[in-house]
Amino acid sequence: MKIVVIGGSGLIGKKVVTNLRQHGHEVVPASPSSGVNTVTGEGLAQSLAGAQVVVDVANAPSWEDNAVLAFFETSGRNLLAAEVAAGVGHHVALSVVGTDRLLASGYFRAKMAQENLIKASPIPYTIVRATQFFEFVGGIAQAATEGQTVRLPPVLMQPIMSDDVAAVVAEAALAEPLNGTVELAGPEPIRQDELVRQFLKATGDARTVIADPKALYYGIAVNDQSLTPGDHPRLTPTRFADWLSRNAFVALIFSTMLLSSGCQKKTSATDPTFQSTPGSTKPLEAADLVGYDGKRLRKSVDHIKEANEKHNQDIEKMAGSGPDQ
């Protein structure tokens, strides 16, 4: 079966592509870096030709209110129209648990618009709504940091590992369309301040977390129901503590890079690396930091991991070519 993964170069997209290929399917990762752009329409019709299923795990490059809404509306319209033209039989999309309860946020208004377009289209669909990824916790901390203090609302969350999300998205792509929404959450509820405290501790980060019931989550008020799933979510197996212990080294580099790069609200305004839109001189917003954390920083971490592996290989080679003992 031919399956197109829109956003196939992203955090979730790469894992979905690998997973579906392991099941023996013809999988096409489609995104601007491979010449397919759902906003401009470039390459879209060609990539969808002959596809039975489309998985949409793209994300907007800017999370500024108007930009993110324009992205998900335009991308959704173009993609669904191209799917109708190509005769696609199943559209699978990844959204966020609580989207309908978080509409004070521009990002969630945009995700709601994406979901509504899918429901209104004639293509059979499955929407998978997931809670916040473990990889996202560093971004939550960064967005709430002032000086050495991280002020967070102590609301319940139920975060999830990205590999577990990707596995369920891939499974949905291979199943019959639900014409409905499934909720996906990690195995354990945890309060936001405690989640971030554990992350900072594991990464050797000296910032202090303060639980403040009046603190906002990316600019909006939240409560125990905002970010947690409803009555019958599908629960995934990986615990945050296990992920943290496996990834502590990478997470340490993440946080060191964020701090040493001056990726702070007060210093970032004139640095193009941290502008939300290329060429913009707008000061960095909290949401932009998360976009950075979610994409560009990950690329840097991949680079560090590669360099590390190469370093270890070099050491092994040197040990192997050394004088016999």
- The binding site for ligand NAP (CB under 6 A) comprises 6-7, 9-13, 31-33, 37-39, 57-59, 61, 75, 94, 96, 111, 130, 132-133, 136, 294-295
Nearer to ligand NAP, 107 or 197 (CB): 107
Nearer to ligand NAP, 94 or 258 (CB): 94
Half-sphere exposure of 53 (CA within 13 A, CB side): 25
CA–CA gap between residue 135 and residue 146 (Å, rounded): 21
Residue 133: DSSP 8-state: B
CB of 132 to ligand NAP, least distance (A): 4
Nearer to ligand NAP, 140 or 209 (CB): 140
Which CB atom, from 71 or from 200, has the smaller least distance to ligand NAP?
71
- Smaller CB separation from ligand NAP, 129 or 197: 129
Instruction: Give the shortest CB-319-to-ligand NAP separation in angstroms.
Output: 37
Instruction: Give the residues across from 209 on adjacent strands.
Output: 150
Q: Which of 113, 42, 109, 129 is CA-nearest to residue 82?
A: 42
Structure tokens at 57: 């795990």
CA 118 to chain centre: 20
CB-side neighbour CA atoms (13 Å) of 3: 31
Least distance to ligand NAP from the beta carbon of 36, Å?
A: 6
Q: Cα separations (Å) of 183 from 106, 236, 240, 303?
A: 21, 11, 18, 33
Residue placing its CB nearer to ligand NAP in the complex, 99 or 268: 99
Q: Write down the H helix ranges in the chain.
A: 11-22, 44-48, 65-86, 106-120, 137-143, 162-174, 192-202, 240-260, 286-291, 297-321
Contact of 14 with 50, CB cutoff 8 Å: no
| Residue nearest ligand NAP, CB atom distance | 10
Q: Min. distance of Cβ 312 from ligand NAP in angstroms?
A: 27
Instruction: Find the shortest distance in angstroms from Cβ 42 to ligand NAP.
Output: 9
Q: 57 vs 82, which CB is nearer to ligand NAP?
A: 57
What is the distance between the alpha carbons of residues 149 and 135, in angstroms, rounded to a whole number? 20
Taking the complex as a whole, the smallest distance from the CB of residue 150 to ligand NAP amounts, in Å, to 18
Residue 11 or 190 having the CB closest to ligand NAP: 11
Q: Which has the closest alpha carbon to 295: 83, 64, 62, 88?
A: 62
- Three-state SS for 170? helix
Shortest spacing between CB 231 and ligand NAP, in angstroms: 19
Distances (CA, A) of 140 to 100, 188, 245: 20, 18, 19
Judged by CB, which is closer to ligand NAP: 96, or 221?
A: 96
Contact 97, 229 (CB under 8 A): yes
